[in-house]
Amino acid sequence: MPTNVTVTRIADAKQRSEPVLASVDVLMQNIRQRAYELFSQRGFGDGFALEDWLRAEHEISWPAAEFVEQEQAYQLKVALPGYCAGEIQVTATPQEIIVNAASEKKGTSKPAEPSKETVRWSEFRSNQVCRRFEAPSAIDTNQVTASLQDGLLTVTAVKHGKAEKKKGPVAAAA
Protein backbone atom coordinates (compact mmCIF):
# COMPACT_ATOMS: atom_id res chain seq x y z
CA MET A 1 0.00 0.00 0.00
CA PRO A 2 1.41 3.44 -0.91
CA THR A 3 2.57 5.79 1.82
CA ASN A 4 1.90 9.50 1.38
CA VAL A 5 4.91 11.78 1.04
CA THR A 6 4.74 15.41 2.14
CA VAL A 7 4.76 17.97 -0.67
CA THR A 8 6.00 21.53 -0.08
CA ARG A 9 3.99 23.83 -2.34
CA ILE A 10 5.46 27.12 -3.55
CA ALA A 11 2.92 29.16 -5.51
CA ASP A 12 5.37 31.82 -6.75
CA ALA A 13 8.18 30.43 -8.94
CA LYS A 14 10.33 33.47 -8.09
CA GLN A 15 10.22 32.67 -4.38
CA ARG A 16 13.53 30.83 -3.82
CA SER A 17 13.73 31.00 -0.01
CA GLU A 18 13.33 27.25 0.66
CA PRO A 19 16.71 25.62 1.44
CA VAL A 20 16.05 22.82 -1.05
CA LEU A 21 15.91 25.39 -3.85
CA ALA A 22 19.40 26.67 -2.96
CA SER A 23 20.64 23.06 -3.04
CA VAL A 24 19.09 22.57 -6.46
CA ASP A 25 20.71 25.76 -7.76
CA VAL A 26 24.12 24.39 -6.70
CA LEU A 27 23.30 21.01 -8.26
CA MET A 28 22.32 22.66 -11.55
CA GLN A 29 25.55 24.69 -11.57
CA ASN A 30 27.56 21.47 -11.04
CA ILE A 31 25.73 19.76 -13.91
CA ARG A 32 26.26 22.82 -16.12
CA GLN A 33 29.99 22.78 -15.32
CA ARG A 34 30.32 19.05 -16.03
CA ALA A 35 28.41 19.38 -19.33
CA TYR A 36 30.83 22.14 -20.34
CA GLU A 37 33.79 19.88 -19.44
CA LEU A 38 32.35 17.15 -21.67
CA PHE A 39 31.85 19.71 -24.47
CA SER A 40 35.47 20.78 -24.01
CA GLN A 41 36.75 17.19 -24.07
CA ARG A 42 35.11 16.69 -27.47
CA GLY A 43 36.93 19.74 -28.84
CA PHE A 44 33.94 22.11 -28.58
CA GLY A 45 32.13 20.38 -31.46
CA ASP A 46 28.49 21.32 -32.01
CA GLY A 47 25.53 18.97 -32.06
CA PHE A 48 25.94 17.13 -28.75
CA ALA A 49 24.57 19.61 -26.20
CA LEU A 50 21.70 17.37 -25.09
CA GLU A 51 23.94 14.30 -24.83
CA ASP A 52 26.50 16.29 -22.81
CA TRP A 53 23.80 17.57 -20.48
CA LEU A 54 22.21 14.14 -19.97
CA ARG A 55 25.57 12.48 -19.33
CA ALA A 56 26.54 15.19 -16.83
CA GLU A 57 23.18 14.87 -15.13
CA HIS A 58 23.56 11.09 -14.96
CA GLU A 59 27.08 11.38 -13.51
CA ILE A 60 26.10 13.94 -10.87
CA SER A 61 22.43 13.25 -10.18
CA TRP A 62 20.89 10.05 -9.07
CA PRO A 63 18.49 8.10 -9.17
CA ALA A 64 16.66 6.82 -12.23
CA ALA A 65 13.43 8.64 -13.02
CA GLU A 66 10.63 8.96 -15.57
CA PHE A 67 8.66 12.16 -16.25
CA VAL A 68 5.48 11.64 -18.30
CA GLU A 69 3.10 14.31 -19.62
CA GLN A 70 -0.53 13.30 -19.62
CA GLU A 71 -3.50 15.32 -20.87
CA GLN A 72 -4.45 16.71 -17.43
CA ALA A 73 -1.26 16.25 -15.41
CA TYR A 74 2.39 15.28 -15.22
CA GLN A 75 3.41 12.05 -13.57
CA LEU A 76 6.88 11.63 -12.16
CA LYS A 77 8.27 8.30 -10.99
CA VAL A 78 11.59 8.17 -9.14
CA ALA A 79 13.34 5.02 -7.94
CA LEU A 80 14.21 5.51 -4.27
CA PRO A 81 14.95 2.05 -2.89
CA GLY A 82 15.89 2.02 0.77
CA TYR A 83 14.21 5.33 1.62
CA CYS A 84 11.07 5.67 3.72
CA ALA A 85 8.42 8.34 3.15
CA GLY A 86 9.63 10.44 6.09
CA GLU A 87 13.08 10.78 4.48
CA ILE A 88 11.71 12.18 1.21
CA GLN A 89 10.83 15.80 0.53
CA VAL A 90 8.96 16.81 -2.62
CA THR A 91 8.84 20.51 -3.50
CA ALA A 92 6.57 21.85 -6.24
CA THR A 93 6.72 25.28 -7.84
CA PRO A 94 4.66 26.31 -10.87
CA GLN A 95 7.51 25.24 -13.18
CA GLU A 96 9.37 22.45 -11.40
CA ILE A 97 9.24 19.44 -9.12
CA ILE A 98 12.18 18.79 -6.82
CA VAL A 99 12.77 15.49 -5.07
CA ASN A 100 15.17 15.52 -2.15
CA ALA A 101 15.84 12.45 0.00
CA ALA A 102 18.28 11.90 2.83
CA SER A 103 18.71 8.70 4.79
CA GLU A 104 20.07 8.45 8.30
CA LYS A 105 21.40 4.96 7.54
CA LYS A 106 25.16 4.87 7.76
CA GLY A 107 25.77 1.27 6.70
CA THR A 108 26.91 -1.54 8.93
CA SER A 109 27.93 -0.92 12.50
CA LYS A 110 30.95 -3.16 12.06
CA PRO A 111 34.17 -1.31 13.00
CA ALA A 112 36.31 -0.37 10.03
CA GLU A 113 39.39 -2.52 9.64
CA PRO A 114 42.53 -1.19 8.04
CA SER A 115 42.59 -2.28 4.42
CA LYS A 116 45.35 -2.77 1.92
CA GLU A 117 42.83 -2.36 -0.89
CA THR A 118 42.54 0.78 -3.01
CA VAL A 119 39.16 1.67 -4.47
CA ARG A 120 39.76 2.58 -8.12
CA TRP A 121 36.17 3.56 -8.86
CA SER A 122 32.80 3.19 -7.24
CA GLU A 123 29.22 3.76 -8.30
CA PHE A 124 27.94 3.81 -4.73
CA ARG A 125 26.33 7.13 -3.95
CA SER A 126 25.92 9.13 -0.79
CA ASN A 127 22.78 8.71 1.25
CA GLN A 128 21.45 12.01 -0.11
CA VAL A 129 19.53 12.39 -3.38
CA CYS A 130 18.38 15.53 -5.15
CA ARG A 131 16.71 15.70 -8.57
CA ARG A 132 14.93 18.56 -10.31
CA PHE A 133 12.37 18.15 -13.08
CA GLU A 134 11.21 21.14 -15.11
CA ALA A 135 7.66 21.07 -16.45
CA PRO A 136 6.99 22.44 -19.95
CA SER A 137 3.81 24.16 -18.75
CA ALA A 138 2.60 25.50 -15.40
CA ILE A 139 1.76 23.17 -12.52
CA ASP A 140 -1.11 23.81 -10.12
CA THR A 141 0.93 23.57 -6.91
CA ASN A 142 -2.24 23.02 -4.85
CA GLN A 143 -2.89 19.78 -6.73
CA VAL A 144 0.40 17.94 -6.35
CA THR A 145 0.41 14.59 -4.57
CA ALA A 146 3.21 12.14 -3.82
CA SER A 147 3.29 8.57 -2.58
CA LEU A 148 5.94 5.92 -2.03
CA GLN A 149 5.39 2.22 -2.64
CA ASP A 150 8.05 -0.49 -2.86
CA GLY A 151 10.85 2.04 -3.32
CA LEU A 152 9.09 3.90 -6.15
CA LEU A 153 8.06 7.51 -5.54
CA THR A 154 5.11 8.62 -7.68
CA VAL A 155 4.33 12.33 -7.94
CA THR A 156 1.24 13.55 -9.77
CA ALA A 157 1.09 17.25 -10.63
CA VAL A 158 -2.09 18.59 -12.24
CA LYS A 159 -1.45 21.12 -14.99
CA HIS A 160 -2.52 24.67 -14.13
CA GLY A 161 -6.09 25.25 -15.31
CA LYS A 162 -6.51 21.56 -16.21
CA ALA A 163 -8.26 20.27 -13.10
CA GLU A 164 -10.70 17.56 -14.01
CA LYS A 165 -14.15 19.05 -14.38
CA LYS A 166 -16.81 17.12 -12.52
CA LYS A 167 -19.94 16.51 -14.52
CA GLY A 168 -23.20 16.87 -12.70
CA PRO A 169 -26.39 15.03 -13.48
CA VAL A 170 -28.23 16.20 -16.57
CA ALA A 171 -31.83 17.19 -15.92
CA ALA A 172 -34.46 16.12 -18.44
CA ALA A 173 -36.44 18.85 -20.13
CA ALA A 174 -40.02 19.20 -18.91
Residue ranges per structural domain of the chain:
3-105+125-159
The pLDDT of residue 171 is 40
Residue at 58: amino acid letter: H
Q: Is the pTM here over 0.85, yes or no?
A: no
DSSP assignment of 25-47? HHHHHHHHHHHHHHHHHTTS-SS
CATH level 3 topology of 3-105+125-159: Immunoglobulin-like (2.60.40)
Q: At what angle do helices 19-41 and 49-60 cross, to 10 degrees?
A: 130
The pLDDT of residue 170 is 44
Whole-angstrom distance between the N-terminal and C-terminal Cα of the chain?
48
d(C-alpha 158, C-alpha 77), whole Å: 15
The pLDDT of residue 162 is 72
4: Cβ–Cβ under 8 A, 6 or more apart, which residues? Answer: 85, 145, 146, 147
171: Cβ–Cβ under 8 A, 6 or more apart, which residues? Answer: none
The pLDDT of residue 105 is 62
- 10-residue averages of pLDDT along the chain (174 residues): 89 83 88 94 91 85 88 95 92 94 63 73 70 93 96 96 54 43
